[in-house]
C-alpha cells in the first residue's frame, strides 16, 4: 500500500494492539481508538468510515488515509499514513499520538516541504554539475557502479534470460512433445486447487457449519459436496498423505508410521527418510572431507500423481505435502514438508537457555545453562555433529547483553538482536563455523521468556534456511530460494510448531499459538503467491497448523480431560480450535476469490488426512506385552528404562515401536530374533486377538477397539516392512507417552496430563478426514477414501489411473458428465 501512494506518505508506525496477555481486540476497536485520539489532537471532527478488505482500512476525513494492517497473532498492527489533501495538522497529531501510545515509527517520511527542499537541493547540485561540463561526466564512482551492478545489470541479465527463454521456447516445446506423453483422453478441467487442512475433523466441521461459523465450507457443502473421507490404517499423517499422493494403501508405499524400528538395535528410526553420511570421505587427521554427497533418500515408494501428471505435460505445484523430503524429481514445482529435519538432523530440537542448572533437559529440547557476567549472560547454542570432523559437536557462542530492562543477543560476535519480552524475533540467521571459512547456516526464532537478572530464553529448532538450503528441500533446488526472496524467510522444518516445548512447559499456550500462526501466515503467503502463478495443472498445499493446534488444545473442548483442570485460562483458550476452523474458512474464502468455483474447468477441493479425538488415557502396549509374557526383562529388572534398556531380547517375542505398531522379534529378521518365521503369522494373530477389546481396568472401558495382524491389512509389495500387529485404540485412548519412549514397567494404563491432549492415532473408523469440493464427487459411493484423490485428479486431467492404484476416481464418468 505504501508503494502506491508514494508522493504524500507521512510514515509507517507499528504498535501493540493491547496489553500483553490481553485477547486481541477487533481491528475496528483499534481504528476507533486511533480516530478518537486524532480527533482530540486535531480538534476537528474527522469523519471516518471502515472498509474491511482482508486487512482494514480507515479513511479519516479529507486530510489523510490510514491503512491499518492488524496482526492479531503478534498482537501488533502497522499503520501506513498518507496525506490525501489539505486539512488539520495531521502529521503533528499523528506523531504526538504515536509518542503517547508508544507506537514505534517504522519509517517516518519527511514532510512535503522538506521533500521539496531536498529535491531542490539535489536539483541545484545537478545543475551546478551540469554548468561545469568537465565535471558533469565525472560522477562515475561506486554509487553508480553499485546501482549499475544491482539494478541495471539485473535488468539486463533478466532481459537476456527472458529473451533466451522465449527463443528456446519452441525447442523446449518440441522436446516436451517428444519426451512427454499426451493425456489419452481430453482433460475435463484446466486447474485443480487442492487444499489440505491436516486433521480437520468432520464432526467439528459439521458442528461449526451448523452454528454458521464456517460460511465458505458450508457453501461448498451446499453447492458442491462434503463427505467424510476414510483415512488409512494406521490413521497418521505420514501414512495418509502418502496414500493421498500415490493412490495406494500403505503396503504399496511402505510408510506405516512416523517411526519404524532398526532391526539391529531395536531403536526407533525415521520411517520416511534415510539420511546418512557420504559414502566416500578423505580422512586428513581429524578431518573427514566428503568426496560424495551425503545419503538422503525418500523411503516412500510408488509413484505420486504429480509425477504421472508431469509425464503427461500437466504441471503441478506441490507445496508442503507431507513425506516429500527429499523432493521428487518431476516436471513441476515442490516444497518439502513433514519430515524435513532441522539442522541437527532431528524432527525439531528446541533450546532452552536459563541460569538455573537444575532446569535440566526437556523432552524434545536441550538445556543451555547461562553463565552470569555482570550485565551479560554467556552461553553456546548446540548444533549438529561437525560434518567434517567425526565426534565433534558444533556450538555457536552467544552473549545476552543487558541494557536497563532490555535484553539483546549477540550470536558469535554478530550485531545484537533485540529480545523483546514474550515476543518472537524475526528469523535470525545462524552460522556455525566449520573452519576454513566454511559455515553451516540455518535460521531460528528466539523468544525471551523472562527478563530481569535471571533471563530465560527459548530458541526454536534451527531450520534449514530456505534462501541457502544445506539440504534439498525443494524441486527445483532454486524454488525455496525463490520463495524466500518473494515472501521472506519461512519455517522449513517438517513439524515446525513446537509441540514439545509446550508439552514440557517451556512455551506457554500463547507462545505456542503465536508460533503456529506465524508459521501459518508464511504458508498462506506462499500458497497465494503460487495460486496466482498456477493457471493450469494442479496446485496443492497442505496446512498443518490445524493438526498441531488440535493436538495441543483438545483439552479445552473436553471437560473431563485429565489435563483440563490444570490448563490455564479456559475463557481465552476454550475457543482456540473453533477459531482455527474459522480462520481456515476465511482463508478458503480468500482462495475462492481467485478461483471461480462455478467454472466447470476449475476443481476446488479441501481435504484432511484424518480427524481428531480427545486423548485422555495412555496404553503402554509394551507393558501389556510384558504382562502377557511376550516381552521379557533382564533378570532382576522390574522396569526397562527408556528405549528398552533392560529388555532381554533373546527371550522377547514382541515389542511396540511408534504410535500404533507392534513388531515380532523374528529370527533371521531381527538381530536377536527368537520367533521362528513360520510361527510369526500365528503369533501376530494371537496378539491381535488379545489386544482387541482390551479393557482399561482403571475405568472399566474398552481401550482398544480392534487390533489387526498384518496379514489382515497389508498385501502389497512392501508388506514385509510393516508392523506385525497394528493397534486401533478406542476414542480417548492412545499409545502412552512412556510406551512410545520404550519404557516397560507394570503400568499399562495411565492418564494423559500433557498439553498434547488430542490425537488421531487410533482406530481409523473413528477419525475419518473430510472432503469438500465445488462439484459432486463420489456420488453413489458408500465410502470415499483418501486413496481416491490421486485417481480422481488423474481422471479429470484425462489420464486413466494406473492399475496398481487402490483408489478409484470419484469423478462422474465423462459420458455421464457430458449427458448431464
Pairing of strands 732-735, 613-619: parallel
Half-sphere exposure of 213 (CA within 13 A, CB side): 15
Nearest CA to 336 out of 540, 69, 559, 200 is that of 540
Pairing of strands 350-354, 456-459: antiparallel
- Is 166 one of the binding residues for other proteins (CB under 8 A)? yes
432 touches 393 (CB < 8 A): no
Q: Which of 168, 279, 371, 372 binds other proteins (CB under 8 A)?
A: 168
Cell numbers given for 109: 517520511
Q: How far is the CB of 260 from other proteins (least distance, A)?
A: 35
- Is 117 one of the binding residues for other proteins (CB under 8 A)? no
In this structure, the dihedral spanned by the alpha carbons of residues 542, 706, 734 and 250, taken in order and rounded to 10 degrees, is -30
Q: Which of 4, 113, 140, 436 binds other proteins (CB under 8 A)?
A: 140
Q: Which of 29, 116, 120, 144 binds other proteins (CB under 8 A)?
A: 144
Query: Within 10 A of 819 (CB to CB), how many other CB atoms are there?
Result: 8
The residue behind cell 461449526 is 208
How far is 499 from 489, CA to CA, in rounded Å?
21
Give the residue with the Cβ less far from other proteins, 134 or 819: 134
Q: How far is the CB of 76 from other proteins (least distance, A)?
A: 16
227 touches 771 (CB < 8 A): yes
Q: Which of 116, 146, 267, 289 binds other proteins (CB under 8 A)?
A: 146
- Is 181 one of the binding residues for other proteins (CB under 8 A)? no
Q: How far is the CB of 66 from other proteins (least distance, A)?
A: 19
Binding segment for other proteins (CB under 8 A), chosen from 121-129, 318-326, 351-359, 654-662, is 121-129
The residue behind cell 484432511 is 608
How far is 716 from 711, CA to CA, in rounded Å?
10
Please report, as residue ranges, which positions from 347 to 406 form the binding site for other proteins (by CB under 8 A). Answer: none
- Is 185 one of the binding residues for other proteins (CB under 8 A)? no
- Is 165 one of the binding residues for other proteins (CB under 8 A)? yes
In this structure, the dihedral spanned by the alpha carbons of residues 277, 282, 284 and 288, taken in order and rounded to 10 degrees, is -10
- Is 155 one of the binding residues for other proteins (CB under 8 A)? yes
Give DSSP secondary structure letters for 517-568.
HHHHHHHHHHHHHHHHH-SSEEEEEEE-HHHHHHHHHGGGT-TT-TTTTT-S
- Is 145 one of the binding residues for other proteins (CB under 8 A)? yes
Please report, as residue ranges, which positions from 303 to 332 form the binding site for other proteins (by CB under 8 A). Answer: 315
Give the residue with the Cβ less far from other proteins, 107 or 454: 107
Binding segment for other proteins (CB under 8 A), chosen from 37-45, 169-177, 429-437, 505-513, is 169-177
Q: Which of 26, 117, 152, 671 binds other proteins (CB under 8 A)?
A: 152
How far is 120 from 108, CA to CA, in rounded Å?
20
Q: How far is the CB of 70 from other proteins (least distance, A)?
A: 20
- Is 187 one of the binding residues for other proteins (CB under 8 A)? no
Q: How far is the CB of 334 from other proteins (least distance, A)?
A: 11
Give the residue with the Cβ less far from other proteins, 89 or 429: 429
Cell numbers given for 283: 580422512
- Is 29 one of the binding residues for other proteins (CB under 8 A)? no
Query: Within 10 A of 753 (CB to CB), how many other CB atoms are there?
Result: 16
Q: Which of 116, 438, 486, 699 binds other proteins (CB under 8 A)?
A: 486
How far is 352 from 460, CA to CA, in rounded Å?
9
How far is 199 from 176, CA to CA, in rounded Å?
38
Q: How far is the CB of 478 from other proteins (least distance, A)?
A: 5
In this structure, the dihedral spanned by the alpha carbons of residues 631, 632, 634 and 636, taken in order and rounded to 10 degrees, is 130
Cell numbers given for 106: 517504522
- Is 132 one of the binding residues for other proteins (CB under 8 A)? yes
Give the residue with the Cβ less far from other proteins, 107 or 297: 107
In this structure, the dihedral spanned by the alpha carbons of residues 446, 452, 455 and 458, taken in order and rounded to 10 degrees, is -30
Give the residue with the Cβ less far from other proteins, 408 or 589: 408
Q: How far is the CB of 140 from other proteins (least distance, A)?
A: 5
Q: Which of 125, 294, 435, 800 binds other proteins (CB under 8 A)?
A: 125
Strand partners for 402:
407
Binding segment for other proteins (CB under 8 A), chosen from 21-29, 209-217, 364-372, 485-493, is 485-493
Cell numbers given for 269: 528410526
316 touches 309 (CB < 8 A): yes
- Is 147 one of the binding residues for other proteins (CB under 8 A)? yes
Q: How far is the CB of 309 from other proteins (least distance, A)?
A: 14
How far is 195 from 597, CA to CA, in rounded Å?
14
Give the residue with the Cβ less far from other proteins, 21 or 124: 124
Q: Is 53 exposed, middle or buried (0-12, 13-18, 19+ CB in 10 A)?
A: exposed
Q: How far is the CB of 536 from other proteins (least distance, A)?
A: 9
Pairing of strands 191-197, 537-543: parallel
Q: Which of 23, 100, 154, 292 binds other proteins (CB under 8 A)?
A: 154
Binding segment for other proteins (CB under 8 A), chosen from 167-175, 193-201, 300-308, 386-394, is 167-175
- Is 179 one of the binding residues for other proteins (CB under 8 A)? no
Q: Judged by CB under 8 A, how many residues of this single chain contact other proteins?
A: 53
Please report, as residue ranges, which positions from 465 to 484 form the binding site for other proteins (by CB under 8 A). Answer: 476, 478-479, 481-484
The residue behind cell 556450538 is 395
The contacts of residue 366 (CB under 8 Å, 6+ apart) are 349, 350, 351, 352, 382
Cell numbers given for 8: 504524500
Q: How far is the CB of 73 from other proteins (least distance, A)?
A: 21
- Is 533 one of the binding residues for other proteins (CB under 8 A)? yes
Cell numbers given for 132: 561545469
- Is 594 one of the binding residues for other proteins (CB under 8 A)? no
Give the residue with the Cβ less far from other proteins, 71 or 643: 71
- Is 40 one of the binding residues for other proteins (CB under 8 A)? no
- Is 345 one of the binding residues for other proteins (CB under 8 A)? no
- Is 112 one of the binding residues for other proteins (CB under 8 A)? no
Dihedral sign computed on CA atoms, order 574, 520, 764, 747: negative
Cell numbers given for 426: 524475526
Binding segment for other proteins (CB under 8 A), chosen from 119-127, 302-310, 624-632, 779-787, is 119-127
- Is 159 one of the binding residues for other proteins (CB under 8 A)? yes
Give the residue with the Cβ less far from other proteins, 166 or 818: 166
Strand ranges across the sheet with 225-229:
225-229, 769-773, 602-607, 191-197, 537-543, 316-319, 333-335, 474-475
How far is 677 from 673, CA to CA, in rounded Å?
10
Interacting residues with other proteins (CB under 8 A): 3, 107, 122, 125-126, 128-129, 132, 134-135, 138-147, 149-152, 154-155, 157-159, 161-162, 165-166, 168-169, 172-173, 176, 315, 333, 415, 476, 478-479, 481-486, 488, 533, 535
Amino acid at each position: 500500500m505504501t508503494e502506491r501512494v508514494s508522493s504524500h506518505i507521512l510514515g509507517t508506525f507499528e504498535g501493540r494492539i493491547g496489553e500483553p496477555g490481553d485477547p486481541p481486540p477487533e481491528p475496528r476497536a483499534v481504528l476507533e481508538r486511533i480516530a478518537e485520539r486524532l480527533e482530540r489532537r486535531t480538534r476537528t471532527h474527522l469523519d471516518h468510515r471502515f472498509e474491511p478488505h482482508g486487512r482494514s482500512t480507515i479513511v479519516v476525513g479529507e486530510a489523510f488515509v490510514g491503512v491499518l494492517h492488524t496482526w492479531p497473532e503478534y498482537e501488533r498492527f502497522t499503520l501506513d499514513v498518507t496525506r490525501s489533501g489539505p486539512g488539520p495538522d495531521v502529521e503533528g497529531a499523528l506523531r504526538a499520538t504515536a509518542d503517547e501510545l508508544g507506537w514505534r515509527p517504522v519509517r517516518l517520511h519527511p514532510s512535503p516541504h522538506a521533500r521539496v527542499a531536498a529535491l531542490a537541493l539535489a536539483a541545484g547540485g545537478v545543475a551546478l554539475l551540469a554548468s561545469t561540463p568537465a565535471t558533469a561526466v565525472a560522477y562515475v564512482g561506486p554509487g553508480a557502479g553499485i546501482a549499475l551492478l544491482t539494478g541495471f545489470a539485473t535488468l539486463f541479465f533478466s532481459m537476456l534470460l527472458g529473451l533466451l527463454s522465449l527463443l528456446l521456447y519452441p525447442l523446449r516445446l518440441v522436446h516436451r512433445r517428444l519426451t512427454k506423453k499426451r493425456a489419452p483422453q481430453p482433460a475435463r478441467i484446466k486447474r485443480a486447487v487442492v487444499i489440505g487442512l491436516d486433521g480437520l475433523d468432520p464432526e467439528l466441521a459439521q458442528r461449526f457449519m451448523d452454528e454458521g461459523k464456517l460460511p465458505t465450507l458450508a457453501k461448498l457443502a451446499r453447492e458442491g459436496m462434503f463427505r467424510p473421507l476414510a483415512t488409512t490404517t494406521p490413521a497418521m499423517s505420514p501414512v495418509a498423505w502418502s496414500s493421498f499422493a500415490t493412490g495406494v494403501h500403505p503396503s504399496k508405499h511402505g510408510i506405516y508410521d512416523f517411526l519404524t524400528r532398526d532391526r539391529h538395535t531395536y531403536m526407533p528410526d525415521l520411517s520416511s527418510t534415510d539420511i546418512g553420511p557420504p559414502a566416500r570421505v578423505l580422512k586428513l587427521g581429524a578431518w573427514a572431507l566428503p568426496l560424495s554427497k551425503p545419503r538422503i533418500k525418500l523411503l516412500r515408494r510408488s509413484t505420486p500423481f504429480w509425477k504421472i501428471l508431469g509425464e503427461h505435460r500437466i504441471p503441478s505445484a506441490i507445496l508442503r505435502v507431507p513425506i516429500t523430503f527429499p523432493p521428487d524429481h518431476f516436471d513441476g514445482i515442490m516444497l518439502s514438508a513433514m519430515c524435513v529435519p532441522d539442522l541437527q538432523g532431528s524432527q525439531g530440537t528446541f533450546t532452552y537457555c536459563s541460569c538455573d542448572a537444575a532446569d535440566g533437559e526437556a523432552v524434545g529440547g536441550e538445556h543451555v545453562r547461562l553463565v552470569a557476567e555482570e550485565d551479560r549472560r554467556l552461553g553456546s547454542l548446540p548444533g549438529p555433529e561437525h560434518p567434517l570432523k567425526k565426534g565433534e559437536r558444533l556450538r555457536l557462542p552467544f552473549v545476552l547483553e543487558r541494557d536497563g530492562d532490555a535484553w539483546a543477543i549477540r550470536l558469535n560476535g554478530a550485531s545484537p538482536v533485540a529480545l523483546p519480552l514474550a515476543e518472537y524475533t524475526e528469523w535470525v540467521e545462524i552460522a556455525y563455523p566449520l573452519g576454513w571459512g566454511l559455515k553451516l547456516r540455518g535460521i531460528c526464532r528466539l523468544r525471551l521468556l523472562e527478563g530481569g537478572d535471571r533471563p530465560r530464553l527459548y530458541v526454536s529448532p534451527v531450520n534449514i534456511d530456505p534462501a541457502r538450503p544445506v539440504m534439498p528441500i525443494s524441486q527445483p533446488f532454486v524454488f525455496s530460494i525463490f520463495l524466500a526472496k518473494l515472501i521472506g524467510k519461512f519455517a522449513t522444518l517438517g513439524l515446525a510448531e513446537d509441540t514439545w516445548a509446550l508439552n514440557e512447559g517451556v512455551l506457554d499456550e500463547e507462545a505456542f499459538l503465536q508460533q503456529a500462526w506465524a508459521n501459518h501466515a508464511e504458508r498462506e503467503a506462499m500458497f497465494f503467491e503460487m495460486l496466482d502463478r498456477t493457471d493450469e495443472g494442479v496446485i496443492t498445499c497442505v496446512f498443518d497448523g490445524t493438526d498441531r493446534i488440535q493436538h495441543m488444545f483438545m483439552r479445552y473442548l473436553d471437560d473431563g480431560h485429565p489435563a483440563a483442570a490444570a490448563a490455564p485460562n479456559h475463557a481465552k483458550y476454550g475457543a482456540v480450535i473453533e477459531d482455527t476452523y474459522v480462520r481456515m474458512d476465511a482463508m478458503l474464502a480468500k482462495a475462492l476469490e481467485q478461483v471461480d468455483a462455478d467454472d466447470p474447468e476449475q476443481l476446488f477441493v479441501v481435504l484432511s488426512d484424518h480427524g481428531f479425538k480427545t486423548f485422555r488415557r495412555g496404553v503402554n502396549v509394551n507393558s501389556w506385552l510384558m504382562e502377557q509374557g511376550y516381552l521379557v526383562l533382564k533378570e532382576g529388572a522390574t522396569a526397562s528404562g527408556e528405549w528398552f534398556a533392560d529388555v532381554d531380547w533373546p527371550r522377547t517375542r514382541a515389542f511396540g515401536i511408534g504410535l500404533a505398531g507392534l513388531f515380532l522379534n523374528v529370527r533371521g529378521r531381527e538381530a536377536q530374533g527368537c520367533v521362528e518365521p513360520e510361527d510369526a503369522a500365528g503369533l501376530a494373530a494371537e496378539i491381535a486377538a488379545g489386544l482387541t477389546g482390551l479393557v482399561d481396568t482403571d475405568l472399566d472401558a474398552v481401550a482398544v477397539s480392534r487390533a489387526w495382524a498384518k496379514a489382515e491389512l497389508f498385501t502389497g509389495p512392501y508388506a514385509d516392512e510393516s508392523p506385525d500387529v497394528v493397534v486401533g485404540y478406542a476414542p480417548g485412548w492412545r499409545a502412552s507417552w512412556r510406551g512410545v519412549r520404550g519404557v516397560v514397567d507394570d503400568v499399562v494404563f495411565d492418564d494423559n496430563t500433557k498439553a498434547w491432549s488430542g490425537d488421531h492415532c487410533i482406530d481409523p473408523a473413528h477419525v475419518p478426514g473430510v472432503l469438500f469440493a465445488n462439484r459432486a464427487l463420489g456420488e453413489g459411493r458408500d465410502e470415499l477414501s483418501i486413496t481416491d484423490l490421486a485417481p480422481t485428479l488423474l481422471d479429470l486431467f484425462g489420464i486413466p489411473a494406473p492399475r496398481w492404484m487402490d483408489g478409484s476416481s470419484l469423478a462422474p464418468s465423462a459420458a455421464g458428465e457430458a449427458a448431464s
